Chain A
Amino acid sequence: MFKTLTLSLGLIMLAGSAMAGETGYTLQVDGMTCPFCVATSEKALKKIKGVKGATADLKTGVINVCTDGSVNFTDDQLKALFLEKGFTYRQMTKTKTCAAAAPSKVTDAAAG
């Protein structure tokens, strides 16, 4: 019983320390209006070393980025990145996990 409890706690701590490295960013990018805008923005972000994934919400202009923790985005860096793509970077929010970067469901139920 004691061994099982110890092993379980150990696994939980191990998983926790592995996930602690991940950092999420929520970016607000204006001017994206089409599937291509999403694709080119996601592609540009995924080219950055340490970025594990990026998903964009076209309607709100929010891009959720998941990194391995080695990336430290700056406003100037993101402003330049999205300027080259033809869009306008507004702001970012840094989060401790990548939960926000996971694909979400319908984001524009009222559209159309």
Chain B
Amino acid sequence: MVKTSIQTVCLLGALMAAPGTAFAAPITFNTALPVSKGEFLARQQFIVTNLSDRLGGMKRDVTVRAGVSVLGYGVTPKLAVFGVAPLVNIDREIGTMNRNDTGLGDATVFARYEIYRKDRPGKTIRIAPFAGLTLPTGRTGKTGDGSTDGFAGLIFTAASTNWNFDSQIKYTVNRRAKGFARGDTISADASLQYRLSPNAITVSTHGFLYGVMEANLTQLQRDRLGGLINPDSGGTQAFLSPGLQYATRRWIAETALKIPVVNDLHGAALAPNYSLITSLRFNF
């Protein structure tokens, strides 16, 4: 049961690592907008996630605090590569058991390649597939799940000076490590960023304030432990994430609250309560 909690926590952390760009972009997942050739993108996310419930009178409470560092680089105008390194603190309180682990979580590397672009004055549409690996850089069973996992997906972005829309589908293949294999996941995400301020753009406008609403749907397959299916794992989760984003010429500050609206998890799987995400991004 504790192991299930750990895996759920690690999965949530991985899902929320969203590299983005210095354009207005989703807070909880990726965008197809470009990283200019030869330019770097740095992003620092701070994420607090809480999962808790009461199972047969036993309180279960897990809080994850993560500092997720992201570095992206524009290799060509179409190809960008990213590295994501999370530093996590996991506080577990399961009945009378208390445990706290801090350290490097599982790092992620991936590449994104633009396959479609249609630009018009003040508007653009981009489509970009991506693929990558999550590496077992965390301590197995504590801050990581010990396996090298692969993922791939497709992002669609439509952007204008007034609003941006992004959507993503992603499939993650989770491999076995030390007899444990987390279930594969498939997720679908959508984000709308609407410019709230300023009403009028002038050449002296240096920043846009966006209102953000995101929806995230994830289908989790059941975990396997020693070849046996864990009945207390897998299911369907859906989240809504309202947020705010301030985008300037060189940096973006943003925050969102990820709230579960569907927690249809199997058996006694621990369900998330909320995630609070704050983030800063820089281009240089």
Interface residues of A (CB under 8 A from B): 28, 30-40, 55-62, 83-88, 103-112
Could you tell me if B250 and A36 are in contact, using CB atoms closer than 8 angstroms? Answer: yes
Q: Does B236 contact A (CB under 8 A)?
A: no
Q: Does B161 contact A (CB under 8 A)?
A: yes
Q: Does B97 contact A (CB under 8 A)?
A: no
Q: Does B9 contact A (CB under 8 A)?
A: no
Cα distance, A112 to B209, chains bound together (Å)? 12
Cα distance, A56 to B206, chains bound together (Å)? 12
Contact string against A for B residues 104-129, beta-carbon threshold 8 Å, 1 for contact and 0 otherwise = 00000000000001011111100000
Write the nearest CB–CB distance from A58 to chain B, whole angstroms: 5
- Least CB separation from B206: chain A residue: A35
Could you tell me if B201 and A58 are in contact, using CB atoms closer than 8 angstroms? Answer: yes
Q: Which of A31, A59, A106 has the most B CB atoms < 10 Å from its CB? A: A31
Could you tell me if A106 and B36 are in contact, using CB atoms closer than 8 angstroms? Answer: no
- Least CB separation from B199: chain A residue: A112
Query: A31-B120, A31-B124, A33-B161 are known contacts. Are A84 and B38 too (CB-CB below 8 A)?
Result: yes
Q: CB-CB < 8 A to A109: which residues of B?
A: 200
Cα distance, A33 to B210, chains bound together (Å)? 13
Lowest 6 A-B CB distances belong to which pairs?
A31-B119, A86-B34, A39-B249, A61-B121, A30-B119, A112-B199
Could you tell me if A59 and B122 are in contact, using CB atoms closer than 8 angstroms? Answer: yes
Q: CB-CB < 8 A to B100: which residues of A?
A: none
Could you tell me if B24 and A108 are in contact, using CB atoms closer than 8 angstroms? Answer: no
Cα distance, A104 to B203, chains bound together (Å)? 7
17 contacts between A and B (CB under 8 A): A31-B119, A31-B123, A33-B122, A34-B208, A35-B206, A35-B208, A36-B22, A39-B250, A56-B203, A59-B161, A62-B121, A84-B77, A86-B33, A106-B200, A106-B202, A112-B197, A112-B200
Write the nearest CB–CB distance from A99 to chain B, whole angstroms: 14
Interface residues of B in 199-239 (CB under 8 A from A): 199-208
Could you tell me if A30 and B161 are in contact, using CB atoms closer than 8 angstroms? Answer: no
Q: Does B195 contact A (CB under 8 A)?
A: yes
Tell me which of B22, B24, B203, B283 contacts A107 (CB under 8 A): B203
Q: Does B4 contact A (CB under 8 A)?
A: no
Interface residues of B (CB under 8 A from A): 21-24, 33-39, 74, 77, 117, 119-124, 159-162, 164, 195, 197-208, 247-250, 283
Q: CB-CB < 8 A to B195: which residues of A?
A: 112
Could you tell me if A108 and B201 are in contact, using CB atoms closer than 8 angstroms? Answer: yes
Q: CB-CB < 8 A to B37: which residues of A?
A: 84-86
- Least CB separation from B195: chain A residue: A112
Cα distance, A37 to B249, chains bound together (Å)? 7
Write the nearest CB–CB distance from B67 to chain A, whole angstroms: 24
Q: CB-CB < 8 A to B36: which residues of A?
A: 40, 84-86
Q: CB-CB < 8 A to A33: which residues of B?
A: 23-24, 122-124, 159-161, 164
Cα distance, A106 to B21, chains bound together (Å)? 27
Not counting A30-B119, A40-B36, A106-B200, a sample of 7 additional A-B residue pairs whose C-beta atoms are within 8 angstroms of each other reads A30-B124, A56-B203, A60-B121, A61-B121, A84-B38, A88-B119, A105-B202
Write the nearest CB–CB distance from A83 to chain B, whole angstroms: 5
Could you tell me if B122 and A60 are in contact, using CB atoms closer than 8 angstroms? Answer: yes
Tell me which of A31, A32, A62, A112 contacts B117 (CB under 8 A): A31
Cα distance, A30 to B123, chains bound together (Å)? 7
- Least CB separation from A80: chain B residue: B77
Tell me which of B77, B122, B164, B199 contacts A58 (CB under 8 A): B122
